[in-house]
Amino acid sequence: MLVLYRRREDPEADEVAERLRELVLAHRVVPVDETEHLPDGSKPATWPVLAESNGARYEGAEAIRAFLDVLAYEVTLNRQFQSDACYLDPDDPTHCL
């Protein structure tokens, strides 16, 4: 899951949050005062901050945009070859093959 740490009045963070919604990615948005630290105790050099569950972190709108561009490509490629079809087992039609 992605976590967007953002200042309350930040148009760049608004843009990032909208992009996350458009990509339909699991995420949560955490409003943080500029004087506060992140949960790991660090204080970022630039806002907003996007953190991955694996510990990777992107600070600032430019770094986040670059990460989301790559992620959008990967998600689109994955969704392109994904199928929601269910082929029923002829021997047991209650199960998909």
- What pLDDT does 97 receive? 67
User: With bands split at pLDDT 50, 70 and 90, how would you rate the model's confidence at 70?
Assistant: very high
The pLDDT of 20-43, averaged and rounded, is: 91
CATH tag for 2-80 (out of 3.40.50.170, 3.40.30.10, 3.30.450.30, 3.40.50.300): 3.40.30.10
- What pLDDT does 13 receive? 97
Helix (H, G, I), strand (E, B) or coil at 59: strand
- What pLDDT does 18 receive? 96
Calculate ∠ Cα 37-17-51, nearest 5°: 45
More confident residue, 34 or 39: 39
Which stretch of 10-19, 31-40, 54-63 has the lowest confidence by average pLDDT?
Answer: 31-40
Cα–Cα nearest to 46, from 65, 68, 27? 65
d(CA 79, CA 25): 12
- What pLDDT does 14 receive? 97
The pLDDT of 61-78, averaged and rounded, is: 93
The pLDDT of 64-69, averaged and rounded, is: 97
